[in-house]
Structure 1
Amino acid sequence: MPEQDAPQIYLITPTEIDLGSFPDTLARVLDRVEVACLRLALASHDEDVLVRAADAVREVAHQRDIATVIDTHVVLAERLGLDGVHLSGSRGVRAARKTLGNDAIVGCHCGQSSHDGMSAGEAGADYVAFGPVVETGLGDGAVAERDLFQWWSEMIEVPVVAEGGLTVEKVAELAPFTDFFGIGPEIWREDDPAAALERLRAAMG
């Protein structure tokens, strides 16, 4: 198996953002650390909130040639000219691909299920995310283990994302088997998100 390039960063926004301050915070992070893609991952289902947030983060990201995807909302991704959508589970991948076209990014989170991940790949997903990678106290406590990432990297060509509860130690452990690290809550709760991201980046090798 050829030696894998160092993983890239897939940055995830907070679930709530202050549009008065977050775009500047995001810009500082993106100017300090190279990021491959940005995911807008708001908890809100209010369309106006989502539209205003999408406009704000897309402007910051696109100024730096960074693709921007949105959680769940295929219709908004299309309407707002975003680069794609991030789904939960493989079920909606085929429909999203049909709606957004072949050039869009369509990815999905598949928990700890290699079967769901393979189904997503077969349906046309550009990447599959597994996680959390450590117990977070949320959900059912299930964890995506190192063996899953190692198996996937050896057997499946679809890029894989590790996300959920990442630490410097866990990043270093998974780096040989992961194409992207989905990083979000790990840095936004820190006083200096860019410095926190730099620490995680350094662990990727």
Structure 2
Amino acid sequence: MTDQPNSPQLYLITPVGAAASTVGPLLAEVMDRFPVACLRIPGAGSEDELGRIADLAREIAHARDVAVVIDDHVQLALRHGLDGVHLKDGARSVRYARKELGNDAIVGAFCGASRHDGINAAEAGADYVSFGPCGETALGHGAVAGLELFQWWSEMIEVPVVAEGALTPTLIGHLAPVADFIALGSEIWSDPDPVERLAYIWR
């Protein structure tokens, strides 16, 4: 898939709730094997542990020219030298984050399955918009972000779009022509061998 024209880039999400000591070797191995475009740190956990993960992820990712963002924590992103934030409240915090982080920072916005929220985030200055979940999941709260949403976005809006949540190889194949980034996290970390799982999915 990644060898095809206009194929999406890999957007990697670190394991939720994992300790920094566990995350480091896994991230290094994955990023040495696959061309990751952006690394995202979920905002779950204590601020101290998030800070440790942020420092470790930044060191590993920046050594490989990969940008690092973190969920929602604008001040933590500033303190730990991250490249930006991934905002989970759609357009609501985009202008605040941009003011705090500056024009060079990455500000992404998760907009569920809402075209309206996506447009508002783009108009507010988001660098990318993320839609999901793309598959059926017990963890979801609301509608699935279907293929038609990504098709419409890719035709009408220039702001890059990320597909995330409950992704399967089949879904990735369908989304590849109309998504700029494919975000993978629990899809690989829940496997006993995350690297081989990613090799299977990202082909």
TM-score of the pair, normalised by structure 1 = 0.94
1:62 pairs with 2:100: no
- The Cα shift of 1:4 comes to 6.0
- SS of structure 2 residue aligned to 1:21: helix
For 1:80 and 1:157, locate their aligned partners in 2 and report how far apart those are by CA, in whole Å. Answer: 30
For 1:21 and 1:86, locate their aligned partners in 2 and report how far apart those are by CA, in whole Å. Answer: 23
TM-score of the pair, normalised by structure 2 = 0.94
1:185 pairs with 2:186: yes
State the identity %: 59
Counterpart amino acid of 2:118? Answer: G
Alignment of 1:70-149 (within 5 A): 70-88=70-88, 89-149=90-150
- SS of structure 2 residue aligned to 1:85: strand
- SS of structure 1 residue aligned to 2:162: strand
For 1:20 and 1:191, locate their aligned partners in 2 and report how far apart those are by CA, in whole Å. Answer: 17
- The Cα shift of 1:20 comes to 2.2
For 2:23 and 2:124, locate their aligned partners in 1 and report how far apart those are by CA, in whole Å. Answer: 35
Superposed CA RMSD: 1.3
For 2:177 and 2:189, locate their aligned partners in 1 and report how far apart those are by CA, in whole Å. Answer: 25
- Specify the alignment match of 1:43 in structure 2: 44
Please, which moves more after superposition, 13-22 or 148-157?
13-22
Runs of 4+ off more than 2 Å:
18-21
For 1:143 and 1:187, locate their aligned partners in 2 and report how far apart those are by CA, in whole Å. Answer: 20
Counterpart amino acid of 1:11? Answer: L
Alignment of 1:165-180 (within 5 A): 165-180=166-181
- Specify the alignment match of 2:20 in structure 1: 19
Would the aligned equivalents of 1:33 and 1:194 in 2 still touch at CA under 8 Å?
no
For 1:139 and 1:150, locate their aligned partners in 2 and report how far apart those are by CA, in whole Å. Answer: 22
For 1:136 and 1:117, locate their aligned partners in 2 and report how far apart those are by CA, in whole Å. Answer: 21
For 2:43 and 2:87, locate their aligned partners in 1 and report how far apart those are by CA, in whole Å. Answer: 13
Would the aligned equivalents of 2:135 and 2:144 in 1 still touch at CA under 8 Å?
yes
Q: Which runs of 5+ in 1 are unaligned?
A: none
